Amino acid sequence: MAESLPPVVERIHEEVLRRNPAEPEFHQAVREVLESLAVVLNRHSEYTEMKTVERICEPERQVIFRVPWQDDSGEVQINRGFRVEFNSALGPYKGGLRFHPSVNLGIVKFLGFEQVFKNALTGMPIGGGKGGSDFDPKGRSDAEVMRFCQSFMTELYRHLGEYTDVPAGDIGVGAREIGYLFGQYKRITNRYESGVITGKGLGWGGALVRTEATGYGAAFFAEAMMETAGESFDGKRVTVSGSGNVAVYAIEKVHQLGGTVVACSDSSGYVVDEKGIDLEVLKQVKEVERARVGEYAERVASASFVADGDIWDVPCDVAIPSATQNELDGEGAASLARAGCRYVVEGANMPATPDAVRVFREAGVAFAPGKAANAGGVATSALEMQQNASRDRWSFEHTEARLEEIMRGIHERCHATADEYGSPGDLVLGANVAGFLQVAEAVHAHGLV
């Protein structure tokens, strides 16, 4: 049972529920931020008078559209497309596109709302948005994916622009999809507007480190958390859920920083490898063959595959949930805490349920929310936009150094804000309050718009 909210934010929460029925993920994301904001509203009455929180909870624009296309057999398919342009107080809307059967308006709004604060924390001049479709690229041919992407962009292009709205990839949208989307945008507009989309191929405007950025960023954030406690990754057992882009590169960077990742997963189950996940084999299985994670266990003698059960039952010092929203519940959190886990760092967007976060708080487990810990992807997207604007290309080393600097800056900011608002070490409150204050200041400066 969720605790009641302070009166100063309860009215706002009730209004969000009323105006946005049947959108549980969005309700969850808003409530999680509101729980942190009472302390701010009590200190800054102007935010209540100007209804600043209410304005930030309401998207500036929501676009929903039909996406018709033909599959390889000639059958007509109809999907639904979304783009929620949530807040542009700090810059053009910036956020990924997700292609997955689970996509609906509530999920896109939750992701867009989180993106507003995440982007603010990076310190980069970008607002927040999100989009996608209930199209599933899994099992589709390249030609089918291309036809879908072209149809999707034929509607979406009119809402985009390097000074307006800049999408990127997310679940189901990788380099292939970004290429088809950009090609259609270029064809329709007759403009080679590199900065209109990020996650591009390296040969045509993409940035080095963009592929690795979210996973690397989560590892850098975890390292910064441990350093405040006088620790490091050296000798630490680490569990990373998922085996997609975020998980693979979180594993890579954790290994480089001295930790040992002993487990990863996908929707079919999880693998445990006490010697440490062999990244070369994992990349071959997941990135080249697009196979199930069980294939890894068949090729690596020290590994075992578990089809039933929960990856959070694997004992570890550090957990990095990197698959999808609400994958880590109260029961999983209790398992981690019992086994001695001391750090949980969200690599995905909102992978820990409110119950899980409560368990971590009560057990004294240091917890980093996704809006802070997984901001590396969008931060590097903003660096890609900088390079496109200056017609430049930076080295891998320079871009990675900028990424690490940004992630350490986010941690420092969240840590300092938590101290300032009377909750030392509470990175959830620190992230929510720091992100909110940055956006709120700009919202007020622009007037009632």
| pLDDT at residue 363 greater than cutoff 70 | yes
| pLDDT at residue 109 greater than cutoff 80 | yes
| pLDDT at residue 417 greater than cutoff 70 | yes
pLDDT of 308: 86
**Sheet containing 76-87: which strands, arranged edge to edge?**
61-70, 76-87, 128-133, 93-99, 165-169
| pLDDT at residue 113 greater than cutoff 80 | yes
Query: Within 65-138, where are the H helices?
Result: 105-122
What's the average model confidence in pLDDT over 145-157? Answer: 98
What b-and-e string marks burial along 335-373, b requiring 16 or more CB atoms within 10 Å of the CB?
A: bbbebebbbbbbbbbbbbbbbbbebbeeeebbbbbbbbb
pLDDT of 181: 98
Which long-range contacts does 301-307 make (Cβ < 8 Å, 24+ apart)?
Answer: 302/273, 302/274, 302/275, 303/271, 303/272, 303/273, 304/271, 304/272, 304/273, 305/269, 305/270, 305/271, 306/269, 306/270, 306/271, 306/272, 307/268, 307/269
Contact 86, 127 (CB under 8 A): yes
- The CA distance from 367 to 418, in Å, is 13
Nearest Cα to 279, choosing from 212, 226, 217, 345?
Answer: 212
What's the average model confidence in pLDDT over 413-432? Answer: 98
Query: Within 50-141, where are the H helices?
Result: 52-57, 105-122
Write out the catalytic residue numbers: 130
- The CA distance from 282 to 129, in Å, is 32
What's the average model confidence in pLDDT over 364-390? Answer: 97
Q: Which residue ranges make up the annotated binding site for NAD(+)?
A: 214, 245
Looking at the DSSP assignment, which residues form a beta bridge with residue 69?
A: 77
What's the average model confidence in pLDDT over 27-48? Answer: 96
What's the average model confidence in pLDDT over 41-52? Answer: 96
pTM: 0.95
Express as a percent the part of the chain with pLDDT over 90: 98
| pLDDT at residue 2 greater than cutoff 80 | no
5 burial class (0-12, 13-18, 19+ CB within 10 angstroms)?
middle
- The CA distance from 385 to 124, in Å, is 11
Tokens of 72: 């390889």
- The CA distance from 378 to 373, in Å, is 11
| pLDDT at residue 3 greater than cutoff 90 | no
- Residue given tokens 């992630």 in the structure block: 407
Confidence bin at 250 (pLDDT 50/70/90) = very high
Contact 344, 317 (CB under 8 A): no
Q: How far is CA 414 from CA 162, 351, 409, 434, in A?
A: 29, 19, 9, 6
Q: Which residue ranges make up the annotated binding site for substrate?
A: 94, 115, 118, 169, 381
- The CA distance from 321 to 200, in Å, is 26
Q: Which residue ranges make up the annotated binding site?
A: 94, 115, 118, 169, 214, 245, 381
Q: Dihedrals φ, ψ of 168, to 5°?
A: -150, -165
Reduced to 3 states, what is the DSSP secondary structure of residue 257?
Answer: coil
| pLDDT at residue 1 greater than cutoff 70 | no
CA dihedral 338, 344, 348, 352 (to 10 degrees): 50
| pLDDT at residue 121 greater than cutoff 70 | yes
| Per-residue model confidence as pLDDT tens digits over 198-224 | 999 999 999 999 999 999 999 999 999
| Per-residue model confidence as pLDDT tens digits over 183-201 | 999 999 999 999 999 999 9
449 burial class (0-12, 13-18, 19+ CB within 10 angstroms)?
exposed
What is the residue-averaged pLDDT of the chain?
Answer: 97
What's the average model confidence in pLDDT over 115-141? Answer: 97
Query: Structural domains in the chain?
Result: 7-57 (no CATH), 61-189 (3.40.50.10860), 212-372 (3.40.50.720)
Contact 272, 304 (CB under 8 A): yes
Q: Please count the other Cβ atoms lying within 10 Å of the Cβ belonging to residue 422.
A: 9
Express as a percent the part of the chain with pLDDT over 70: 100
